[in-house]
Amino acid sequence: MKKYNFSAGPATLPATVIQEASMGVLDLDGIGLSVLEISHRSAEFSQIIERAEALVRKLLRVPEEYAVLFLTGGASTQFFMVPMNLLAETETASYILTGSWAKKAYKEAQLFGNVEVAASSEDQNFSYIPRQLDVSSDSVYLHYTSNNTIYGTQFHQLPDTDKPLVADMSSDIFSRPVDIQRHWVIYAGAQKNMGPAGTTLVIIRKDVVERAERTLPTMLNYKTHIEKRSLFNTPPVFPIYVSMLTLAWVDEMGGVERMAQINKEKAAVLYREIDDNPLFYGVVRPEDRSVMNVCFRLHDEKLNDAFIAMCNERGIVGIKGHRSVGGFRASIYNAMPNEGVQLLVETMRDFTQRYG
């Protein structure tokens, strides 16, 4: 039975990417070695990481004044690397709190300077994106989380500010166009929409990397990785390889502009069923609903286990909501095919016929 992975991450990957990656594990491009054992200093890996960078630049139209890095440690490491490198102790940074990950980024930043809350949606359990911002005139940057995997909200427009932006785009990177030049830094863990777990994409303006003027550990200094082109130490070779294959797939599909159109269509089908089905309801303000992570619940939560059981029977996996909020969450990233969304909709309808 074919299965569809609706998990928030590690998430579904294109079938063709998995096939090509599996061939690379056995023998990379006929060189007689697995991609798992090639040197990160080899010509073969140089081609991989250079192509990965070129695809990032092409897909997101990244200007030359920005560096493209492939690091480790996930977005959680970027929570403190950003203020460590960009925020001096006497300076102020602003943060929009729209979920658990945004709060964690805010907490880490407090270790390195003055950090203020520009806006928060915690008053309504993070069910909306706040529009009114209170940003100090001396704030040096505004941090936001573009898409919230746990609560299912998403910024559909950039925050309304003249301050430089810093964005955690872990769960919607490459799903739509991005105005790179409004940002100092964009970072994203790979495991939701770019590739397997293990590497973290960082796009950063080169002229801001030393503005905090503090002494930093070598590995936590962006300048180190910019100068060494992400090769200061052994990088996560396999995750970068699979990310490169995934980015090539996005390019072949028509780029992020085409992906944005496809993703909106998939999300519309699922949200329409949630709104029309008498047993289910959405938990996010309609105008702020995520196109990547669709969160919903049953009016009668005693039926939760029965719905999950029916989903499992039909090859729908990873549909259970985050443990902190419950309910259900369908993550429909770039690689989720239309058939997976349609199967979930049909299952919801069949469930309603049985229990409605």
Query: Is 179 in the same domain as 289?
Result: no
Tokens representing 302 are: 């005693």
Last residue of a domain, one of 196, 231, 253: 253
Residues 278, 280, 286, 291, Cα dihedral to 10°: -130
Is residue 232 pLDDT above 90, yes or no?
A: yes
Give residue 212's pLDDT: 86
Q: In what order do the strands lie in the sheet with 139-145?
A: 66-71, 200-205, 183-189, 165-168, 139-145, 92-97, 114-120
pLDDT band at 145 (very low <50, low <70, confident <90, very high): very high
How many degrees, rounded to 5, is the angle at CA 294 between CA 288 and CA 295? 90
Look at the chain and report how many structural domains it folds into: 2
Give residue 22's pLDDT: 97
Query: Is 123 in the same domain as 93?
Result: yes
pLDDT digits (tens, 9 = 90+) for 63-74: 999 999 999 999
Give residue 284's pLDDT: 97
Query: Is 325 in the same domain as 339?
Result: yes
pLDDT digits (tens, 9 = 90+) for 197-207: 999 999 999 99
Query: Is 182 in the same domain as 317?
Result: no
Query: Is 36 in the same domain as 162?
Result: yes
Give residue 169's pLDDT: 98
Instruction: Residue 222: give its domain's CATH number.
Output: 3.40.640.10
- Does residue 192 carry a catalytic annotation? yes
Last residue of a domain, one of 253, 284, 318: 253
Query: Is 295 in the same domain as 239?
Result: no
Asked if 160 and 133 touch (Cβ cutoff 8 Å), the reply is: yes
Cβ atoms within 10 Å of 335's Cβ, excluding its own: 21
Q: How far apart are CA 105 and CA 60, in angstroms?
A: 24
- Does residue 101 carry a catalytic annotation? yes
Query: Is 57 in the same domain as 112?
Result: yes
- Of 217, 224, 220, 185, residue with least CA distance to 93: 185
Is residue 210 pLDDT above 90, yes or no?
A: no
Last residue of a domain, one of 238, 253, 268: 253
How many degrees, rounded to 5, is the angle at CA 206 between CA 200 and CA 212? 90
- Which is catalytic among the residues 163, 172, 184, 192? 192
Instruction: Residue 311: give its domain's CATH number.
Output: 3.90.1150.10
Query: Is 245 in the same domain as 268?
Result: no
Average pLDDT over residues 167-195: 97
- Which is catalytic among the residues 163, 168, 172, 288? 168
Average pLDDT over residues 334-345: 98
- Does residue 168 carry a catalytic annotation? yes
Query: Is 233 in the same domain as 308?
Result: no
Average pLDDT across the chain, whole number: 97
pLDDT band at 213 (very low <50, low <70, confident <90, very high): confident
pLDDT band at 356 (very low <50, low <70, confident <90, very high): confident
pLDDT band at 139 (very low <50, low <70, confident <90, very high): very high
Q: Could you list the residue range(s) of the whole structural domain that residue 175 is in?
A: 15-253
Query: Is 249 in the same domain as 261?
Result: no
Is residue 100 pLDDT above 90, yes or no?
A: yes
Query: Is 104 in the same domain as 8?
Result: no
Query: Is 42 in the same domain as 191?
Result: yes
